[in-house]
Structure 1
């Protein structure tokens, strides 16, 4: 029995199959990435715990250490010969052949006796390669980058430097402070500060200022002179402004974590942050603040008392080193049990009670004397004709009121 040949897939079917296959490959790739990310996080946490190191330092050692250190390789004679052959072709007017250039150069060099060169010839070739490489690097460093490239280069280099400085500090225990500012306003380069915690505390204690504010004033002076410093100083944040920013960061962080981690609806989110009832808030929502920068635990920003403390706390909130964290079920239950026990023992500080607690707040009725007095005054006014001559009943006699007839009826 003859069978029909399989029908050929149409272009639409092939495109659909390719899309399905591509989507499957992407999903598999993301799944593998997540699996290896979990492995990496686990390795970082394990190393940090075993060696009592910060996880950021461990991560820097694992994957980001020594990114700025260029590998030093011994000069290669074969590369020097290829370089000399390329210069020779360029001198003869032979242009580039694209991706086939290196292949053709290698074929030409293979037919020569480059291994039998004298020591003087080898030295000359290697020196020529090193000189050309140095000249190329010099031109690369001197070329004028566009504004976008300057910003990207600045960000990339300072990020790499930050990793190197963190690693160096962890290895040697040294403290570091680096300022990076743009020389012109049109550069588009934002001021950058890299400092260790020890240097930051020293600046606060000695100069009564944070490194972030110092670098802003330095950049203002470089770009605008003393007038620029005056403008920046006049716009400095006050104690009240810092308190407001800290409170806003804390409240927004609370609302965000309740929406994302506890699935609270917008209308059910808290609109204020009660610092005096912080422990009760933790027991109610199952979240807590970690990384508080000041001693004594979480407290009202108004009680910190110093600008540099507020700036330190605000910086930690913006960098997410101080943030809200979800409690595990065990931690949450333990805190609620402890609070219930303290409440039963009458150890919790309670809010002040009103003096009139338990009393009715109904609106008081006017006394009989006030009511009679007001009625007598109204009758006296009508009898004396006060108000006559105006209004809809201006032509009525003073003693005969239209409303009297309505009442009698």
Structure 2
């Protein structure tokens, strides 16, 4: 019997009212807003991860959106695989790394035996094997290796790109500004990164009275010294730590003040002959020293004096100044007057010792003279 073609019935839908249209439109807008919000949060999360872990944004986005294993649900545990791994561990127990049996070889040699043993497992036994694998997954941690050289290259590449973007942005928009980035701890090896537009550099020199690089060095020393973190512990810092911070602060500020005087070199602070080797030689001086004359922080006489000096240095109550020509000449005159009164302003140089060879030579010369006079 031939089939008779059936006529396709036309489906008619009721016309939407204005309220229904409005409701459908609101649903579409809410869905679009939710998707855009989630997309923006994913982008921001990628930027935060890249910045926190010092990875490129391109690499981070590819991990999150294209090939990310963290966003994919892991494959469920296979009881047969869990059983094989447990048996393989038993087989290799006590063997060294070069003597262990490979999985493929182990299955080939013991296939029938493994199948019979697996067939005897109860559902409870299989569940125990699955739980063991899940526990191993949770306990497995990825080891991260520190690579200072690669990190330094990453920092340099990042800030080179950032420097180009800043220059292009300032040239395009006419904006003025600067940025300073320094290492966050003593274990890092990146040098300070600075960018100053022309007017921003003039601002730093005129208002802050600092060269841009000196400002970066000040920020780095303040961050690394740990003085930016308020102390929450009642335990006192060791005295040698306080002394070391005082010396570091004095030396770094000494180098900065010499750069202002256009003196570039490896100059070291001299506490023993401070007036001659530092003040008179370079025309700079420390003012606001809390306890008498300037001397080595290790010889101040205890923790209280070292803490007092460190607080004065940090709060800039004790700081370096450049002496004018008149002040320097008056300082030299005062130093000579004090030295004449008996104060040890200048440290005397050590006298050169006379060696035994020199004594022996003098004696021999004396004997020769005596013998020649006797002959005469």
Q: Same fold (TM over 0.5)?
A: no
